[in-house]
Amino acid sequence: MNKKPKTFSLHWGSGIVEEEAQIQCEYHSPTIQLLKFTDGEAKGTYEIRFCHYSHEGRFQRSPLILDDKDVPRLKRALEKTPKLKKLLAQMVK
């Protein structure tokens, strides 16, 4: 079954969520996404979005807050996102 990719639209362009690491927590689903711009001013570039979703799957427009006990689980989720993991590694080198 081919799953339709998530899309996004920002003021400077739109595109698809190419990779996503997500875990389920008590109050929300913390998520880190690799955004690939396919249209607009940012076409051809990538950005990283730190966000969260409700348990019902709705995107939340508020800051991502992650409990320290959930960091190892999100790290394991990043193992399935090689491009995103590589970009994030540049932040801590």
Q: Residue 46 belongs to what domain range? A: 7-92
- Per-residue confidence (pLDDT) for residue 3, from 0 to 100: 80
32 is a domain residue: yes
How many C-beta neighbours within 10 Å does residue 31 have?
Answer: 20
- Per-residue confidence (pLDDT) for residue 93, from 0 to 100: 80
* DSSP designation for 62: S
How many folded domains does the chain comprise?
A: 1
pTM: 0.92
Residue 1 has pLDDT above 80, yes or no: no
- Per-residue confidence (pLDDT) for residue 82, from 0 to 100: 97
* Averaged pLDDT score across all residues of the chain: 95
> What angle do the packed helices 71-78 and 82-92 form, to 10 degrees?
130
38 is a domain residue: yes
1 is a domain residue: no
